[in-house]
């Protein structure tokens, strides 16, 4: 690969050409990831410097994203472990499989007569569903339409209680989501027990039906929730891109040509309801086309996106807020509370923030 022949001298020359001050550019070792460099960000660095740096770094097959805590990046090695586990074959426990399949949540197909291959994330999902069925409570149930975010809240044990019918519908949605995400490019690799490369994830992102993915993750109970005007409620002061840059300390140089490919390099996703890498890449490409968005910063459980063309109307902001919620439910469920408040935050703002708890 290109980054294997890039040395520190070439990296420093590019940074100098971008008029970016630096004093400690060094290789960074994170888990099984090679070719990374990190530098301490200059105190007065502007977004324009970052844009110019990325333009120049692309010639070396690199890009730069901001990170707040370099130490926490060690957690990214866990994503490589998850990717390896997902593409490694396991034997599905037949007793657990029969109990789950006979519950009616999955298809009417009979349990297999012999062990069938399963994979890390699928096994974990099935175990969670079985545990949830065993502990299902029927009192104080939710009667309104149940969607993806509500189901995940229930599975996480957040006090959300569903009816049996609603739970089965939600479980079916999770099954549909897995089918959409397992595109041909990844299914072929899984059958050969090969962990995807960045280019594999890029191909998978192009094969992904992102509209179908977003549709499955809708949640009418949350998306139709109305926020009544309350003059006592403190209005949102959205963080701007330059404010974010001013707060962070480090720039991470990643051996991929564009920032939307960074999630693929780190196999980002699969933990805490964070979507898999090719979904991040597909949405980043979608938003790059519509809003000139690009990945500005990252962490093991968070993404920060710089938006050159933010939504300027209430209607466009609301449409984007729904997409953001389906992509990252925690922005509403764990933070702002309603789609309308999320829309208010992103309207006219050049920074989109996503985090998965």
The whole-angstrom separation of Cα 354 and Cα 337 is 14
Domain annotation covers residue 112: yes
Domain annotation covers residue 273: yes
Same domain for 109 and 210, yes or no, is yes
Between 86 and 29, the higher pLDDT residue: 29
Model confidence over 117-144: pLDDT tens digits? 334 444 555 555 555 555 544 434 445 5
Between 250 and 43, the higher pLDDT residue: 250
Per DSSP, the residues of 118-180 read: E-HHHHHHHHHHHHHHHT---TT-B-S---HHHHHHHHTTSS--B-HHHHHHHHHHHHHHHHH
Same domain for 46 and 158, yes or no, is no
Distances (CA, A) of 123 to 31, 160, 209, 246, 348: 24, 23, 24, 42, 42
Q: What is the pTM of this model?
A: 0.82
Assign 304 to helix, strand or coil.
strand
Q: How many domains does the chain have?
A: 2
The least confident of 7-21, 133-147, 276-290 is 133-147
Pick from 16, 9, 3, 6: which is nearest to 52 by CA? Answer: 16
The whole-angstrom separation of Cα 159 and Cα 137 is 10
Domain annotation covers residue 230: no
Mean of pLDDT over the chain: 80
Q: What's 270's DSSP letter?
A: S
Q: In what order do the strands lie in the sheet with 302-307?
A: 26-30, 33-40, 250-254, 63-67, 293-299, 302-307, 351-355
Listed residues 189, 223, 257: the one ending a domain: 223
Same domain for 95 and 218, yes or no, is yes
The least confident of 13-17, 55-59, 135-139, 174-178 is 135-139
Model confidence over 281-327: pLDDT tens digits? 999 999 999 999 999 999 888 999 999 999 999 999 999 999 999 99
pLDDT at residue 199 tops 90: yes
Same domain for 198 and 306, yes or no, is no
Domain that holds residue 37: 2-83+236-355
Q: Which residues are 115's β-sheet partners?
A: none
Same domain for 315 and 268, yes or no, is yes
| H helix runs in 163-237, sequence order | 164-181, 184-191, 198-207, 210-216, 220-223
Q: What percent of the chain has pLDDT over 70?
A: 74
Same domain for 241 and 341, yes or no, is yes
Listed residues 200, 223, 246: the one ending a domain: 223
3-state SS track over 47-67: HHHHHHHHHHHHHHCCEEEEE
Same domain for 63 and 104, yes or no, is no
Listed residues 190, 223, 256: the one ending a domain: 223
pLDDT at residue 85 tops 90: no
Same domain for 206 and 261, yes or no, is no
Domain annotation covers residue 231: no
């Amino acid at each position: 690969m290109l980054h294997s022949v890039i040395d520190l001298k070439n990296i420093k020359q590019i940074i100098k050409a971008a008029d970016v001050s630096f004093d400690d550019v060094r290789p960074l070792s994170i888990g099984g990831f090679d070719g990374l460099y990190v530098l301490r960000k200059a105190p007065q660095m502007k977004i324009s410097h970052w844009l110019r740096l990325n333009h120049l770094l692309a010639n070396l097959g690199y890009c730069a994203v901001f990170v707040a805590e370099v130490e926490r990046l060690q957690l990214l090695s866990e994503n490589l472990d998850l990717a390896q586990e997902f593409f490694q074959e396991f034997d599905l426990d037949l007793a657990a499989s029969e109990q789950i399949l006979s519950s009616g949540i999955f298809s009417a197909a009979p349990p297999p007569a012999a062990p069938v291959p399963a994979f890390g994330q699928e096994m974990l999902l099935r175990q969670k569903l079985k545990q949830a069925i065993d502990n299902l409570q029927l009192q104080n149930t939710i009667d309104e339409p149940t969607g993806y975010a509500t189901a995940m809240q229930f599975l996480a044990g957040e006090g959300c209680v569903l009816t049996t019918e609603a739970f089965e519908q939600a479980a079916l949605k999770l099954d549909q989501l897995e089918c959409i995400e397992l595109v041909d490019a990844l299914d072929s690799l899984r059958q050969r027990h090969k962990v995807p490369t960045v280019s594999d994830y890029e191909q998978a992102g192009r094969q992904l039906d992102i509209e179908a993915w977003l549709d499955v993750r809708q949640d009418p109970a949350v998306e139709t929730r109305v926020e009544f005007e309350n003059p006592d409620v403190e209005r949102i002061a959205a963080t701007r891109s330059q404010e974010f840059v001013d707060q962070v300390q480090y720039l991470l140089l990643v051996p991929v040509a564009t920032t939307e490919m960074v999630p693929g390099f780190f196999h980002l996703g699969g933990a805490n309801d964070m979507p898999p890498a090719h979904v991040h890449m597909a949405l980043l490409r979608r938003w790059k086309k519509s809003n000139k968005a690009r990945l500005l910063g990252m962490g093991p459980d968070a993404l920060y996106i710089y938006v050159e063309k933010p939504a300027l109307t209430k209607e466009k902001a609301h449409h984007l807020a729904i997409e953001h919620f389906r992509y990252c439910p925690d922005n509403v469920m764990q933070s702002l509370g309603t789609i309308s408040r999320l829309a208010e935050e992103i309207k006219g703002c050049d920074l989109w923030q996503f985090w998965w708890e």
